[in-house]
Amino acid sequence: MTFGDRLVRHRRNAGLSQEELSERSGVSVRAISDVERGRARSPQRRTTEALLDALDLDERDRAELRRLARTGGVVLTSPVRSVPMYVADLVGRDAELDAIAGKPHGLVVVHGAAGTGKTSLAVRAAHLLEGRFPDGQLLVDLEGSQRPLQRLLRDLGVPAEHVPEDVNGQTRLYRSLVAGKRLLLVLDGARTEEEVRTLGADPGCLTIVTSRHRLAGLAGATWIRLGGLTEPFALDLLASIVGADRVETDREAARTLVRLCGTSPLALRIAGNRLASRPRWPLRHLVEQIEERRLAALTAGDLDVRGAFEVSLAHLPETARLVFRRLGLLVGTHVTPDLAAELAGVTAAEAGQALEELTDVSLLDPDEHGYAMHGLVRTFANGLIDATDDDAHRRMLSWLLESTVAAGVLFGQTGDARRVRPRGRTFPDVVAARRWLDEHRDLLPEIVDRAQARGLHDDVARAVIALSHYAAIEPGLLWERVYRAALASAREPWQEIVVLAQLGWVLFDVAGRSGPALEVLTRAARLAGESGETGHLGWVWLVASAAHSGLGHFDEAERVCLKAIASMREPGDEHYARSVLGVLWRLMDRPIAAVTAHEEVAEEQRAYARGIYDLSALGRTLGWLGLALIDADRADEAVVVLTEAEDVYRRAHMRSWLARTLLHRALAHRAAGCLDASDDDLARALEGFRAIGDGLGEIEILRALADNAASRGDDGAAQRHLRDSLAVCERWDTDATHEIAAEVRQRLFAG
């Protein structure tokens, strides 16, 4: 209904012709005719008031005509709707829908990377909240509309001839139409805060904005960030498209497909559509295509993952685009400004700004220590890499390896490992170094492999040697792969000797393979004799003595250990070797001599144990002392000593050795007849081993729990713990766990 339509009705109700109304109002007949025919959309205020007075209207009719005059002769007819049908297979967004539903009015910004389902979420929310907004629900596609205000006005029912030509006029008309209304407005694909400020509905309405940008400058907004789905919801989405039976038929392939799609709703929808249109394809076939072609395989019709990412990247500054491309070289998915600066050849400040810009368009996710890169986004970045980026690749690998050196040396060094010194890179303290190494530990095999492929052998050897004490603090089977690979980079005899000694340690102490460990250590000792590089020989012999003991060669182990003690060049190294001798005496059934040796060493170590390496050495001596006291039938004293060891390991933040100490104290409690206290320590140790992914430790704890249950006469609990330990053996699938599994099966069968 326009101003002209209403004017005609009121004039006729008054029984007036245009000429008679003109005579009463003083407005020309031509002006009245133009208004009634719509040729004049918005009469001037003076004209409007003259016509109202002439028609002698009541206050309600006057107010309506004044409003129609202000809005160019247009009134909003309710309800109005331009929101499309919602996506039926939206899954895993209940929390986000609840957050939107909890906002009665105002502004909600749904932001996230391309393909995370922002529009689907907003549309579903609009339909769910339809009853709360009786005047209608509107959606405008800001990415696909060059004139969004005109589109909104048309959706609001404004005839094309009544839309003002200038933006200011359009804005005034839009504002007047939605004033006082209860509307839900979806602004899909906003790029700037200004777009939202211009188009956002009245404060009494609810405006849902979707954007690749966070749009942090919008006052009073509620922000909801969308990422990938969890794996269970991603599987549900896939099943909703291709059918649940097809997913259940090969659930492992379905899980692999979900991981390859990065749990991205867009990528999963594309994959699902391709499979749905090819009902005879097994899921494994599409998995193979994506593994070979990655993003090129994730295209279906007008849905394209690569294109979605390209839109996010297109409008960024040149430095941000360069940083993003170089992130395709990244080892892992985590980046800091310092590393980005090395990759892009810019300053850390410039790199930090670029990372923030990439975060703003949801190509990166901020986290506690830097930025994380989604798997598909990384694949997209990797596809942009070309030969001109090779120098950046070498710079990154050198930087990572030098950072490893700088962090590793803060944990202490022994023997010839002391010959490695940082070259420029530093960490403020051991806490920062520990955090950096913890974050990069699992990436080390890939870093080493890539660096060796580019001839960075000295960098690799120095980094691996610098890690010796950190590796002892955080033991794991990973180190065997790292040390074996590093042997190919050891170009000098002393480097090879140190790496061989470390490999021997991990084979004996972590993998429990004394024979292979002794072979490696014998090779190291022979190389030391041939080259004259004897600075690390004491440590080679010390680990060799432990390997001899693992084979039951105790006399030889004692002889070699005494040689190691005599060869140590630093007091702390000698103390550690003397404590290892105490371990051998305990294994040789000489617990009193072992207790004496450990007590003497512990007393000396307490005097200087401040840094993490010295604390770790004291902790191990106390742990070995506790075991010797158990063997000497002094279990109560063992509990006291092992409690001191627990405190030392807590101060040093050594989770693996702390869990080991709790196991040893559990044994002391058992020896003292306190099974409840023993179970408590075992439960805490089990939690610790599981937290750090130590499968062998987990198995040992479960077997100890079985022993405690058997001591109580609870055969059912003992059998349950043994079956649990067998399941862990099968999950880890190593030579050591195969041997343990055989023992457990024999015990279960005998039971």
Lowest mean pLDDT among 63-72, 370-379, 499-508: 63-72
> Which architecture, in CATH terms, is 571-675?
Alpha Horseshoe (1.25)
Percentage of the chain surpassing pLDDT 70? 96
Confidence of residue 472 (pLDDT cuts 50, 70, 90): confident
DSSP string, 596-623: HHHHHHHHHHHTT--SHHHHHHHHHHHH
pLDDT tens across 326-383, in order?
999 999 888 999 999 999 999 999 999 999 999 888 888 887 778 988 777 888 888 8
pLDDT tens across 473-495, in order?
888 889 999 999 999 999 999 99
* Higher-pLDDT residue of 299, 16: 16
Lowest mean pLDDT among 74-83, 136-145, 383-392, 513-522: 74-83
pTM of the predicted model as reported, rounded to 2 decimal places: 0.71
For residue 526, is pLDDT > 90? Answer: yes
Exposed, middle or buried by CB within 10 Å (0-12, 13-18, 19+), for 95?
A: exposed
* Higher-pLDDT residue of 78, 648: 648
Rounded to whole angstroms, how far apart are CA atoms 689 and 598?
A: 26
Lowest mean pLDDT among 266-270, 683-687, 719-723, 734-738: 734-738
Cis peptide before 203 (omega within 30 of 0): no
Q: Per the CATH hierarchy, to which homologous superfamily does domain 80-225 belong? A: P-loop containing nucleotide triphosphate hydrolases (3.40.50.300)
For residue 173, is pLDDT > 90? Answer: no
3-state DSSP assignment of residue 226: strand
Phi, psi of 186, rounded to the nearest 5 degrees: -110, 120
For residue 80, is pLDDT > 70? Answer: yes
In the chain, where are the structural domains located?
3-71, 80-225, 231-301, 307-385, 386-466, 492-569, 571-675, 694-750
**Total residues found in the chain within this entry:** 751
pLDDT averaged over every residue in the chain: 88
Give ∠ CA 428-431-434 in degrees, rounded to 5. Answer: 110
Q: Are strands 222-226 and 106-112 parallel, antiparallel or unpaired?
A: parallel
Determine how many CB atoms are found less than 10 A away from the CB of residue 146.
7
Rounded to whole angstroms, how far apart are CA atoms 401 and 327?
A: 17
Select from 1.10.3470, 1.25.40, 1.10.287, 1.10.490 the CATH code of 492-569: 1.25.40
Check for a shared fold between 492-569 and 571-675: yes
Structure tokens at 10: 């009121």
Contacts of 527 (CB under 8 A, 6+ apart): 493, 496, 497, 500, 533
The pLDDT value given to residue 266: 84
Which one-letter DSSP state was computed for residue 155? H
**CATH assignment, 307-385:** 1.10.10.10
Contact between 468 and 449 (Cβ < 8 Å)? no
Structure tokens at 541: 């012999």
The pLDDT value given to residue 342: 92
For residue 72, is pLDDT > 60? Answer: no
Task: Compute the average pLDDT of residues 180-196.
Answer: 89
The pLDDT value given to residue 52: 83
Matching residue, tokens 């980026």: 389
The pLDDT value given to residue 31: 83
Confidence of residue 384 (pLDDT cuts 50, 70, 90): confident
pLDDT tens across 660-699, in order?
999 999 999 999 999 999 999 999 999 999 988 888 899 9
Helix residue ranges, H only, 409-553: 430-440, 444-453, 457-466, 468-473, 478-487, 493-505, 514-531, 537-550
For residue 292, is pLDDT > 80? Answer: no
The pLDDT value given to residue 356: 92
The pLDDT value given to residue 751: 61
Contacts of 194 (CB under 8 A, 6+ apart): none
Contact between 410 and 468 (Cβ < 8 Å)? no
Alpha carbon distances (Å) from 121 to 124, 137, 270, 303: 5, 14, 18, 18
Rounded to whole angstroms, how far apart are CA atoms 440 and 401?
A: 10
Class of domain 3-71: mainly alpha
For residue 37, is pLDDT > 80? Answer: no
For residue 73, is pLDDT > 60? Answer: no
The pLDDT value given to residue 41: 57
Confidence of residue 75 (pLDDT cuts 50, 70, 90): low
